[in-house]
Amino acid sequence: MLNTGSTSAEQGPPLWLLAELTYRCPLQCPYCSNPLEFANHKSELSTAQWIDVFTQARALGAAQLGFSGGEPLVREDLPELIGAARELGFYTNLITSGMGLTEAKIEAFRDAGLDHIQISFQASDAEINNMLAGSRKAFEQKLAMARAVKAAGYPMVLNFVTHRHNIDQIDRIIELCVALEADFVELATCQYYGWAHLNRAGLLPTKAQLDHAEQVTNAWREKLAEQGNPCKLILVTPDYYEERPKGCMNGWGNIFLTITPDGTALPCHSARQLPVSFPSVTEHSLSHIWYDSFGFNRFRGYDWMSEPCRSCDEKEKDFGGCRCQAYLLTGDATQADPVCSKSPHHHKILQARAEAEQPQPGIEELTFRNERTSRIICKA
């Protein structure tokens, strides 16, 4: 095992398991979190294999299980997987676009023991939402299913990915969330990995746009508090406007475990793009993967760090920042996250901010997820 300053005896268990059931999805979002080459990964774990993964993860100590994708509703065995997770004692969360969801499915998921449903939107109006999603019916479907989820007794949890083409409408976005009686809203400004990194020039907001969004969100928080409305607004700003990096995933391989559709195990959902060999659940036990595999130990601890991270007094707070971001911006995953002002590559972040102040591509000029291939594999 690589010497990283931590040992399997010191490493705690995975607490959060993200099951990426499929890369198939009917939508074409230009900030899709799936790999750019997602269409090359067509194999998917069987129902029995997924249940075995859940069983092993629960035995290790995992407590929360998220069903994600792609679009997890594509999997016809989803009720069975939810039921198995419930029997094992997981708290379960379905992360969905709402496409393919029906009232009958919501009832079936509730009967199977699903705890939580999160529905994502692309915008607060049909035109922009549907253009970004690549579906003429997406917005109305999402509205109908958000209301159905609320009616079924679930907490109303909504996610809006914001960027330069919709962040100026954040007031209307919050209005829509309040009208839908949302309990929890994540206003998540794009983080630039995968498809979003490819489209960064057309997605990164200006600093003025972000400042305005923060002012509007704070005003709404005050208004909701005065009204006694419990709706909680979470505004997630992009790393590109910070001077210190986030403690990504609470540290590499620390509490978070992702299993991709074909069974590859990752310390975060973006790590597949790194030049690191990651193990598969079809070849190794989760215990070996979590505690002993090269991929999960690669960036644990501090011994792997280069300067300025190695001698930095903040390394125990941010763990050197995001490895995926460091790799995408410098070509070397061992470098300090360029978001950090101490990084020798911080100028790349400053350059991106300066570029955001210039005219950038419109929505129609963005590179969308491979539409033809996506639709083919969605029907497979």
**Longest Cα–Cα distance in the chain:** 56
Phi-psi domain of 284 (left: phi exceeds 0; alpha: psi -120 through 50; beta: other): beta
322 marked as binding residue: no
Exposure string for 206-234, b = 16+ CB within 10 A, e = fewer: beebbebbeebbeebbeebeeeeeebebe
Could you give the dihedral angle defined by the CA atoms of residues 239, 240, 242 and 247, in that order, rounded to the nearest 10 degrees? 30
Strand partners, 91: 64
Distance CA 377, CA 44 (A): 12
268 marked as binding residue: no
**186 burial level (CB within 10 Å; 0-12, 13-18, 19+):** middle
Handedness of CA 293, 295, 298, 301 (dihedral sign): negative
Joined together, the tokens standing for residue 106 give 């919501």
8 A C-beta contact, residue 113 and residue 92? yes
What residues are designated binding site for [4Fe-4S] cluster?
25, 29, 32
**Residues in the annotated binding site:** 25, 29, 32
